[in-house]
Structure 1
Amino acid sequence: MDFKGKTVIVTGGSRGIGAAISYMFAANGANVMVDYLPVEKDIEGLKQLEQEVHNIGGVVDSFGGDVASPEEMDQLVAKTLERFGGLDILVNSAGFTRPATVESMTPDLWKSGIEVNLSGAFYITQAASRHMISQGSGKIIFIGSAGSITGGGGSVAYSAAKAGINGMVRALSKELAPKGINVNAVLPALIETDLLRDKEPDVEKRNKYIQRIPIGRFGTPEDVAYMVLFLASEYAGFISGQNIIVDGGSTYK
């Protein structure tokens, strides 16, 4: 898949699944704008990603912005247009989960879970879609979660927010597909990332999850990135409004 001349924004693009997506787009010729949260883990991840992209002669720039801020997401789009002269693809990968039972879920934890995982995805989508509508084309891809179906993910706030993504994808597709913009989501499950390690720090307990995966292994960030690139490519021109599960067969086992 060739993305030369294309520009992509990847939110949460400095670590985990987001970093794999950012790298793979850069490796296939795209101009990549990585949005990251200016905290230590994200900054370290960004440094590593930038080095890897530079090693292959790719093009990457970055913006330290909070997806939960509509103003900062407007600034992210503005910087992308100024830096690269266009915007063709948006990947909403920013998100987090903090394990909590319904009894221990505080109002602040609920609000942050919804604001980052759901509202933040809307804010950057709204900002990006204004440009895409004006040019009559674009691809918008959300990183959802199979937890929106199974109830997994570590907390009710996370599952609820990711279920909201599924509905947003269907609604946005009806609105934006007639304007030349494809909207889809990829729903990963049991991908070996910090999110999975935070949910279950114990290695032995975590490895028992593999018993739930018919394919017999954890997924990798690259497994998700391959699907994202396909949906962003010309080969997926007739696909819109879909929530596509990438889970090794575990969701409906």
Structure 2
Amino acid sequence: MKYFFLILFLLPFSLAFAQADVFPTKKGNLEITPIFHAALVMQWNGVTVYADPYGGAERYKGMKAPDVVLITHEHGDHLDEATLSGLDLTKTELIAPQKVVDQLKNKTFAKITVLGNGQNTTFKNIKIEAVGAYNIPEETARHKKGVGNGYVLNFGGKRVYISGDTDGTPEMRALKNIDVAFVCMNPPYTMDVTPAADAVLAFKPAVIYPYHYRQPGNKLSDIELFKKLVNDKDPKIDVRLRNWYRQM
């Protein structure tokens, strides 16, 4: 047994710890792997999608190079130039808001597509919709309306929502038929646990992952409380808690 743990310790970070959740779709399985903070990898039908790659390229060792990278907005924990520079992007399309493209220094992507709030595109049979991601009220917002994106991706009929940095906006609350959602909760940058739970209860995803829950000073939001708040009112929602902050 001690040799097993030694081998596990010596494996690269992504191989030793990252575990994909599998969701069946009409065209094969969708595999979703939490990486770090707001970064995740989705693999479906031969396509690999990286969302907000962050925390160092070493976290992606052993994974396929991305066919497409989604970036929600320009802040450094989402647009991470250091991580991007360590990835093979020569055959990769970037989909991002205009401000990300304007700020991006590493433009080695094979193609760059600008997507604004309310717009959509299709990448290899994956429909990608941009949803507004912003703080309320706008007067004190760290994330202004119309700048950043959340995304809804359709993988063979399975709809996945990635919130980006946002409050529980009308756009989030109006979402329909979301199978899997990733929702942020780290005040003062995004909403706190209670309003996050309230927003999730409004759009009722089948599966919800709290992510992006590190606050200033490395304090972590209470995701167990989030789960309780959601399931006390709707026990049918599958709240999945994952450790997004290994090796902080």
Please, what TM-score do these two structures have when normalized by structure 2?
0.40
Higher helix proportion: 1
Q: Which has a greater percent of strand?
A: 2
Higher relative contact order (CA 8 A, sep 6+): 1
